[in-house]
Structure 1
Amino acid sequence: MRPSEDRYEVEEDAAPLDLLVALFEARGWPCESTATEMSGEIQGSWTKYQLRGIWRPEDMVLQILCLPDIRIAKDKLTPAYELVSMINEQMWLGHFEIWSNGGVLLYRNATILGDDGMLSLGQAQALVEIAVDECDRFYPAFQFVLWGGRTPSEALEAAMVDAVGEA
């Protein structure tokens, strides 16, 4: 990648955060970055998501976090943890978790890059799309549990039926 008038031109493979920034800029999504982290905002089907890319060069690991701006009240933690557990059983890539500090819900996925630490445009697009798709897919289930008064199993079943109906 080469900076060009505050824009990035994407080569075939590039440093992970540079490529994520270029992807965000190309799509007109707001973002900022440092040497080891980038943060941006993406409009999903249900809400805006904050997406973070965290690069650990010592391990050659790129971690993608997608936060759907859902905070879980203490009185809803038990059903929310049960729902997270049930949702994670449905997932192939990444997982959901609830941060103990503040009850923030997030999707997390880590990718080990090769020895050169480079990320392809296809990989970057897939990582971002998977994160947003999984948050969109399960957002209704969290709404059903946190505000709709449904049990975790009812919420997951309803969310999965809705997802099947949209396809």
Structure 2
Amino acid sequence: MRTQEMDYSAEDDAAPVDMLASLFMARGWPCELVSEDEMTGEVQGSWANYQLRAIWRPEDGVLQFLCLPDIRVTEDKRAAAYELLCLVNEQMWLGHFDIWSNGDVLLYRHGALLGDHGRLSLDMAQALVESAIDECDRFYPAFQFVLWGGKSPRDALEAAMVDAAGEA
């Protein structure tokens, strides 16, 4: 296997939370530094406002990036929601959806392994944010169809994928 050289410039990179906060400020998105290793923000998606949270774990070299589309899963819909989660996560290349047991909140989670250097480039920061928003936008209708529309998980996913394919 051949290894490609990366076009990597350390002076263009920053601590993960600092880089994400700078990106949010540059785009005019509200954000707050919770600590030097955590930030929160909010972005308008196609379907809803999404709360974003980044948590840096320097001891592991991992940046956990969360996107919460403000969807709560009620007890009576939990089984269908978990079935839909399995179907949705099969479609994912990066990250996954989950339901937090604390508050029954749906969320998208992606762990980015930044390695020993622990730095984040602007391109990677943008990719993290954009992929989280894109995935939440892509599957938001499916969760709505199951939780409020009464569709089966399979039918909800099919309907959401048809709707997404039809958007221009």
Place the TM-score, normalised by the shorter chain, in its bin. Answer: over 0.9
Aligned twin of 2:57: 56
Find out whether 1:73 has 2:55 as its counterpart: no
Q: CA shift at 1:149, angstroms?
A: 0.7
- Name whichever of 152-161 and 113-122 sits farther off: 113-122
Which amino acid is the alignment partner of residue 93 of structure 1?
L
Structure 1 residue matching 2:90: 3-state secondary structure: helix
Counterpart CA distance in 2 for 1:105 and 1:51 is 13
Aligned twin of 2:116: 115
Q: CA shift at 1:36, angstroms?
A: 1.4
Counterpart CA distance in 2 for 1:139 and 1:45 is 9
Which amino acid is the alignment partner of residue 20 of structure 1?
L
Structure 1 residue matching 2:43: 3-state secondary structure: strand
Aligned twin of 2:31: 31
> Given the two structures, how large is their TM-score scaled by the length of structure 2?
0.92
Aligned twin of 1:17: 17
Counterpart CA distance in 1 for 2:89 and 2:22 is 30
Counterpart CA distance in 2 for 1:26 and 1:48 is 18
RMSD (Å), alpha carbons: 0.7
Counterpart CA distance in 2 for 1:36 and 1:23 is 16
Find out whether 1:84 has 2:103 as its counterpart: no
Kindly indicate whether the alpha-carbon contact (under 8 Å) linking 2:62 and 2:115 is maintained by their aligned counterparts in 1: no
Which amino acid is the alignment partner of residue 13 of structure 1?
D
Cα deviation digits, residues 91-140 of structure 1 (max 9, x gap): 00000000112110000000111311000000000000000000000000
Which amino acid is the alignment partner of residue 54 of structure 2?
G
> Given the two structures, how large is their TM-score scaled by the length of structure 1?
0.92
Counterpart CA distance in 2 for 1:78 and 1:56 is 32
Counterpart CA distance in 2 for 1:144 and 1:101 is 23
| Aligned residue-pair number | 157
Kindly indicate whether the alpha-carbon contact (under 8 Å) linking 2:83 and 2:153 is maintained by their aligned counterparts in 1: yes
Q: Runs of at least 4 residues of structure 1 off by over 6 A?
A: none
